Structure 1
Amino acid sequence: MSDRIQVTKKDGVADVKLVRADKMNALDDAMFEALLATTEELARDKSVRCVVLSGDGRAFCAGLDMGNFGKMAEGNKEGGSPSGRQGLTPRTHGITNRAQQAVWGWRALPVPVIAAVHGVALGGGFQVMLGADMRIIHPETKLSIMEIKWGLVPDMAGTAIMGSLCRDDRLRELTYTGRIFSGADAAEYGFATEVSETPYERAMELAVQIAGKNPDAIRANKEIFNNLPDMTAAEALLQESVLQDKLIGSKNQIEAIMAELQKRPAVFADS
C-alpha cells in the first residue's frame, strides 16, 4: 500500500497518510485497495490506540478519479463500481460493499480516528473524511457533497453518517446542489469537530492525548458510540453496564487509578 498510503506508528498513534499527491489523493482502484488494506491491518494491531488520517500535498482527497467518470460517460456501467466488475448492491464486507468499506472501515475500527483535512475534500474524499470519529479541518478547505454534479447520489457510506452530523434541511441543500463550502462552514454545519490553521498538528496533539488514556476504556467508548444508533434506551443502558463491568478492576483500569493518585504518566498494556 506504500504507493497510495503510508503508515507510521509511534507511541500508540498510527499516522496514516494518503500519498497520491500528484492527483490530489484521488480515489483510483489502487487507493480503494489501500484504504481497505490499511483499515484491516490497523484493526489487527493491538498496539494502535488512535489513528490520524490525512492527505499528502495540496489536498486531503479530491474524490473519485476522473477515469471512472470517463467510463460512465462511455456507457460502461462497470465504471460506476470501484471493483470494475459488478454492481454495488452485493455486500462484500459485512454490511458494506467495497466502496462503502473504504469509509465505513474507519468508523468500524475499534480505536478513534481523527481526520486532518486541508485543501479539498470533495465527493468520495468528503465521505472518506466522514468515516473518522473527529474531523479537524482547515478553515479554507473546499468541501462538497459533489455526487450530484455527476448525476449520482453519495454511495460510499456517507448517507449513513451525514444525518447524525448535519441539520436535515442543510444536508438536503448541500446534497441537492453539490455546492462547495468552506472548512469554516463545515464547523457551522456540523461536519467539522473544530477548525484549525494547522489541522494535522492539532489532530496529532489530540491523538497523543487519547493514546495516553486507558486503551480498554477508549475502545469500549467507541463501541458504545458505534452501537447507539441501533439501540433502544434499555439496550443502551445495559450496554454501558456490561462494558463497565469488564473495565472495573482490570489491569489497565487499576493502572489508570494508580497513575492518577501518584501523579505520573500511566503505563498501559496493549488491549
Structure 2
Amino acid sequence: MNEARVRTTVDDGVAEVRLTRPDRRNALDVAMFSAIVHAAHALRDRADVRAVVLSGEGPDFCAGLDRDMFRAMRSGERLSATADLPPLPDGSPARATGQRAVYGWVELPVPVIAAVQGHALGGGLQIALGADLRIVAPDATLSVLEVHWGLVPDMCGTVLLPELVGRDVAKDLTFTGRRVSGTEAVALGLATRVDDDPRAAALATAREIAGLSPHAVRAATRLLGTTRPPAEQLAAEQAEIGALVGSPNQREAVTARLEGRPPVFAAGEPHS
C-alpha cells in the first residue's frame, strides 16, 4: 500500500521521498497518509542519510485532502484516523495522523527540503511546512485552504505557520484561505526561495549539504529545529560546539579546507 503512494530512494547520502499519486494531484487519502508517516519513520535512524528531498510526481506537490475524505466528514467520520501507522516515537507531540504526516519531517535529525511545484493546498501545504526549507516554483499555488471546507489547519499548521510568517500573516492566510504564488510565498516567508525547477534545485542543495560534515549538520538541525528560552538555547549551543571541536569530522573539515581538497567524512558519533 505504501509503495503505491510514496517512493523513497537514497543516493549518496540524499534521500528523495516522492508522493506518487499524480493522477489525483497527490491528494491525501488514507493510504497516502499512512505512506507518508511510514516514509518519515523509516528515515529516522538511517545514518547513511544526510539530507532529504520531499517532492511530488506530476504537475503538483500535493493538492490537499482527497475529496472522499471530505465526503466522509459530512457524517462526522474522520477517515485519517483509520490509517495504519508505525509506533509513535517517544516524546513526539504529534498524535493525530495528519500531524504525524507533517511532524515526522520536523523530527528527522537531518535537513528536509520540500520541492513545491503546482499546487500545495491545505494539508499539502502543511506537509511542506514540516520541511526545513521550501523551494518553490514562481508560479506555484499555495493556500491555507481549510476555511473553504469549514475547517481549520489541524496538521501542525497552527504551530509551524506563525513561526514562518508571523502571527498576523498566518491569520490573514488562515482566515481568508487566499492563494499565493510561489513568488509571494517567498516574500511572506512562507517559502525559502523560488526556482524554475524546484526539484532539481532541492536535490542540488541536498547534495551540497550531504557533502558537509554530517555531525555539524545534525547539530545545526537540532539547534535550529526548536524554540527554547535564550538561556537554554545558548547552553545548547555550547554543548553542541563542545562535542564538535576536535572531533574526527571537525578535524577532517579543517584539514581538507586547508589542503584544498574535498573532505572525507565518517558516520557514527562525533567522538567515535
Cα offsets for 1:30-49 (capped at 9, x unmatched): 11111111111111110000
Q: Name 1:158's counterpart in structure 2.
A: 157
Query: Structure 1 residue 29: deviation in Å?
Result: 0.8
| Alignment of structure 1 residues 43-192 onto 2, 5 Å | 43-73=44-74, 75=75, 77-79=76-78, 81-84=79-82, 94-97=92-95, 98-192=97-191
CA distance in 2, matches of 1:83, 1:169: 31
CA distance in 2, matches of 1:223, 1:206: 19
Q: Name 2:42's counterpart in structure 1.
A: 41
Q: Which amino acid aligns with 2:67?
A: M
Cα offsets for 1:62-119 (capped at 9, x unmatched): 101110100112x2x222x51149xxxxx95531122101001101100000000001
Q: Which amino acid aligns with 2:143?
A: S
Match of 1:237 among 234, 238, 242: 234
CA distance in 1, matches of 2:73, 2:37: 24
Query: Structure 1 residue 245: deviation in Å?
Result: 0.9
CA distance in 2, matches of 1:177, 1:92: 34
- Once superposed, which parts of structure 1, at least 4 consecutive aligned residues long, lie more than 6 Å away? none
Q: Name 2:17's counterpart in structure 1.
A: 16
Match of 1:265 among 259, 262, 270: 262
Q: Which amino acid aligns with 2:136?
A: I
SS at match of 1:15: strand
SS at match of 1:164: helix
Contact 1:167-1:189 at 8 Å conserved across structures: no
Contact 2:117-2:137 at 8 Å conserved across structures: yes
Contact 2:162-2:169 at 8 Å conserved across structures: no
Q: Which amino acid aligns with 2:205?
A: L
When normalised by structure 1's length, the TM-score is 0.93
Comparing 91-100 with 143-152, which one deviates more in the overlay? 91-100
In structure 2, stretches of 5+ residues that fail to align are: none
SS at match of 1:163: helix
CA distance in 1, matches of 2:260, 2:100: 42
CA distance in 1, matches of 2:44, 2:261: 29
Contact 2:128-2:134 at 8 Å conserved across structures: yes
Q: Which amino acid aligns with 1:66?
A: R
CA distance in 1, matches of 2:151, 2:169: 19
Q: Which amino acid aligns with 1:36?
A: V
When normalised by structure 2's length, the TM-score is 0.93
Cα offsets for 1:175-200 (capped at 9, x unmatched): 11111111111011111100111111
Match of 2:243 among 243, 246, 257: 246
Query: Structure 1 residue 156: deviation in Å?
Result: 0.3
Q: Name 2:205's counterpart in structure 1.
A: 206
Aligned residues: 261
Q: Which amino acid aligns with 2:7?
A: Q
In structure 1, stretches of 5+ residues that fail to align are: 86-90
SS at match of 1:127: helix
Query: Structure 1 residue 170: deviation in Å?
Result: 2.1
Contact 1:14-1:50 at 8 Å conserved across structures: yes
Query: Structure 1 residue 169: deviation in Å?
Result: 2.2
CA distance in 2, matches of 1:124, 1:44: 26
Q: Which amino acid aligns with 2:80?
A: P
SS at match of 1:44: coil
